[in-house]
Amino acid sequence: MVVGEVPEGLDLLVVGGGPGGYTAALRAARLGRQVTLVDEAGAAGVGGVCLRTGCIPSKALIEMAETVHRAMAWTRTGPVDLARFQGFKEQIVRQLGDDVRRQLDEAGVRVLQGRFCFTRPGQGAVQREDGGPSRFVEFKDVILATGSRAVELDALRLDGEQVIDSTGALALAALPSKLAVIGGGCVGVELGTAFAKLGAHVTIIEALDRLLPALPATVAHPVQRRLAVLGVEVLLEARVSGFDGDRLKVETLRGLEEVEAALVIVAVGRRPNSDHLGLELIGVRPSVGGMLDVAKDRRIAPHVAAIGDLTPGPALAHKAMAEAEVAADALCGRPAAFDPAAIPAVVFGDPEVAVAGLSAEDARAIGITVRVVAMPLRASGRAATMGATEGFARLVIDTGTDAVVGAQIAGPHAAELISAPVLAIEMAASPADLAGTIHPHPTISELLAEAAGRP
């Protein structure tokens, strides 16, 4: 800090306007704190990657692609107008962003624009990249929620034209004929599937030996089969070594291969935004990979909490939002702990897949004896009417306690369906509880009750 700068006194500061940040801000404001939220993009940045350039826009694209794909299957009409899609997406993003801004405003949360970094414990600077004046602030408590950013590849730098990240992909105004997606994780699979459904020829290139490596293999299988049906090429155990504008050079187990592509989408993971926070000035050192180790109440120091992608665990908005409540409570003097039995994870691929709690492999690895009960999607009449055949509903049951400890669903609306098993896991429901709960007919949710009733 410059000598003579007088810091502005704040009560509780939240750094980052994403789902974690704004949830924490709203919670702390409800608990009576004077909250200030700082985001690099100011009020326009509220909603973060998730709302503005990530989950929400991609779901819009996926939804449209599915609709178009099914319509085309019936009507055999031509390709889709992505420019019109951009208007549709912008409207959703604006409407949802406005809603969050209104909530923050009503809660009395002041929003500042700029990049925050500590100058010493309890003090920091908010610097504007647009050259606007920097502020110096002093605060009682701070919640760090700066999220993560997409990792770049050394062999393939983003150019914003032909080599783009997921944000760029969701801003496309025209559909490329041939595109390659580097990374077979959840973002790569979602985007690859959607663009394939819109009519592009898609190749997905993954370094590991299967798609969706972060999820149990059981849910990756139907996704991989459907991608083949959709005409998507999948190269596994493959690494990109270069791109000449028309062709990607890919090293595979078979040797060097070339993949034709007019556009390359890089989606190879994310890295915590912990490097510009000045954490060394408060004596905090991120672990390898930039993660911040937190206590159960999300604290990293007596008056500093960290949530969301900055902290270990899956980089998911709903995890960040759940942590946000805990962090706000803890810094407001209320005992709190982040201790969920299950954090659901969903991939809006085809089929949609969702997992929660322990997989059978997880359970066995920690010495829990389990049995797995499952029903195939083909057993569902409702799925048949939707033309959906690839999928299942599986439950993992701890035989010792007779409690549901995990669930995996693949099929239409799996992301919606997973909440019932998540509740079952959190409530330590027994399979008999699930089987004895009346599910509506004809629905895909029935499969869960049927699976639970199996011996």
Partner 1 sequence: MSRNLEFCLPDVGEGLGEGEIVAWRVGVGDRVVRDQVLVEVETDKSIVELPSPSEGVIAELGGKPGDILPVGAVLVVMTVAGGSPGTSPDAPPQRVLASPATRKLAVELGVDLARVRGSGPGGRVRKEDVLTAAAPEPSPPAAPTFSERGVRVVPARKSTCGEADGEGTVERVPLRGVRRRVAQTMTRAWQQIPHITDFREVDATRLVAARLRLRDRLGPEFTYLPLFIAAVAAALGRHRALNASLDAEAETITYHRGCHIGIAIATDDGLIVPVLHDADRKSLAQIAVECSTLTQAARSRAVTAEQTMGGTFTITNFGSYGGWLGTPVIRPPEAGIAGFGRIHDAVIPVESVPAVRALLPMVVAADHRLVDGDALGRFAADLAELLADPVLLLA
Cβ at position 378, least distance to partner 1 in Å: 33
Restricted to residues 316-335, the positions that interact with partner 1 (CB under 8 A) are 330-335
- Nearer Cβ to partner 1 (415/428): 428
By CB under 8 A, tell whether 364 contacts partner 1: no
Cβ at position 335, least distance to partner 1 in Å: 4
Interacting residue with partner 1 among 14, 179, 191, 336 (CB under 8 A): 336
- Nearer Cβ to partner 1 (317/322): 322
Restricted to residues 241-300, the positions that interact with partner 1 (CB under 8 A) are 295-297
- Nearer Cβ to partner 1 (165/398): 398
Interacting residue with partner 1 among 177, 401, 419, 437 (CB under 8 A): 401
By CB under 8 A, tell whether 32 contacts partner 1: yes
Q: Which among 12, 34, 17, 16 has a CA at the least distance from the CA of 116? A: 16
- Nearer Cβ to partner 1 (83/295): 295
Sequence-ordered list of residues with C-beta below 8 angstroms from that of 329, at least 6 positions apart, any chain: 27, 31, 297, 335, 336
Distance of alpha carbon 393 from alpha carbon 395, whole angstroms: 7
Q: How many other C-beta atoms are found inside a 10 Å radius of the C-beta of residue 187?
A: 24
Cβ at position 340, least distance to partner 1 in Å: 7
Distance of alpha carbon 202 from alpha carbon 34, whole angstroms: 50
Q: Which among 42, 277, 50, 45 has a CA at the least distance from the CA of 142? A: 277
The DSSP bridge partners found for residue 328 are none
Interacting residue with partner 1 among 366, 385, 438, 455 (CB under 8 A): 366
Distance of alpha carbon 309 from alpha carbon 147, whole angstroms: 5
Restricted to residues 124-143, the positions that interact with partner 1 (CB under 8 A) are 140
What are the structure tokens assigned to 32, written together? 């009576």
In the annotation, is 441 catalytic?
A: yes
Interacting residue with partner 1 among 294, 356, 403, 417 (CB under 8 A): 403
By CB under 8 A, tell whether 167 contacts partner 1: no
- Nearer Cβ to partner 1 (13/51): 13
Q: How many other C-beta atoms are found inside a 10 Å radius of the C-beta of residue 44?
A: 14
Distance of alpha carbon 239 from alpha carbon 245, whole angstroms: 17
Interacting residue with partner 1 among 241, 402, 436, 437 (CB under 8 A): 402
303 and 331 in contact (C-beta within 8 Å)? yes
In three-state secondary structure terms, 334 is: coil
Residue listed under structure tokens 């730098």: 157
Of the candidate spans 208-216, 267-275, 279-287, 421-429, the one that interacts with partner 1 by CB under 8 A turns out to be 421-429
Phi/psi-derived region of residue 422, left when phi > 0, alpha when psi is between -120 and 50, beta in every other case: alpha
Q: Which residues bind partner 1 (CB under 8 A)?
A: 31-32, 140, 295-297, 330-337, 339-341, 366-369, 398, 400-403, 426-428, 430
User: Which residues form the catalytic set?
Assistant: 441
